[in-house]
Chains A and B, each alone.
Chain A
Amino acid sequence: MFARFLMFLACLGFSATLLAQTGHPAKGSWSGNLQPASGQSARIRLLIDDNNGELSGKVNPGRNGIEMSKVELDSATWGLTIHATTPEGELVLTGTLSNLGSWSNRKYIGTFTQGSAKGNFEITLN
């Protein structure tokens, strides 16, 4: 009886930890900068959702948000590729998720093309 009670208490204690272990690594709200090879950097925000492993999302969510046309994650390398059709041309972000254990400093870093522009980006999970 006593052992069962202790197990119950232990389960209660662990339940809080378990609640924090949910979610796809790419899911969430991200903010960062696109830094073209020449010219000024531009702010970018991403909102990525996960539906049973199927990723979708918006670039710069809000009034003028743009639907992502393709979101692909390679779970072997954590490579994430995002496509979206923006007024400036097709935006393609090719990068890697890192620091996956962190809720406050998870990064998505890589290179981008947007129309004729090319450069690097660094985006952090909000």
Chain B
Amino acid sequence: MNTKIIAIAALGTAGMLASVQALAHHSFAAEFDADKKLEMTGVVTKVEWTNPHTYFFIEVEGKDGHEEWAFEMGSPNGLMRRGWTKDTLEIGTEVLVTGTQARDGSHKANAQAVIITEGCKRLFAGTSQRDFVEDENAKVEGCKP
């Protein structure tokens, strides 16, 4: 009897802990529209190194004043393999981001590449969009070398 209770309790706890990450994991197509391409320049206001996705937030000048946009990237591990470090995006850094917008039209997007405008450093964002090709030789545009 005791063994059964322990097993049920352990399973329940494991399920609760796993649910936090499961909620954050989703397919690209379920949340983002590959046809809603966007490119914008803004200032980094927050970075969250979380699994399964890293997020950063930028402030951009929109039609009605300042807007905040959230960009989803790959996992911290995947980003580090692409040359990212925890200090790559410091608060206040101006970046140019390319990506695709959320299907619901909110200020949320999936980032493909991030260009740090000062110095033109480009880093790929580990997008989960399967047909996106990380072309290291593609010209970096829209920055100040």
Contact = CB atoms under 8 A, between A and B. Distances in A.
Interface of A: 2, 5-6, 9, 12-13, 16, 29, 31, 43, 45, 47, 58, 60-63, 65, 126
Contacts of A60: 92
Contacts, number: 50
A65 B92 CA distance: 8
Interface residues of B, number: 22
Given A45-B92, A63-B94, A126-B45, A9 B20 contact: no
Binding site of B, secondary structure by majority: helix, strand, loop or mixed? mixed
A126 B10 contact: no
Interface of B: 2, 5-6, 9-10, 13, 16-17, 20, 43, 45-46, 57, 59, 66, 68, 90-94, 118
Binding site of A, secondary structure by majority: helix, strand, loop or mixed? mixed
A24 B46 CA distance: 16
A45 B94 contact: no
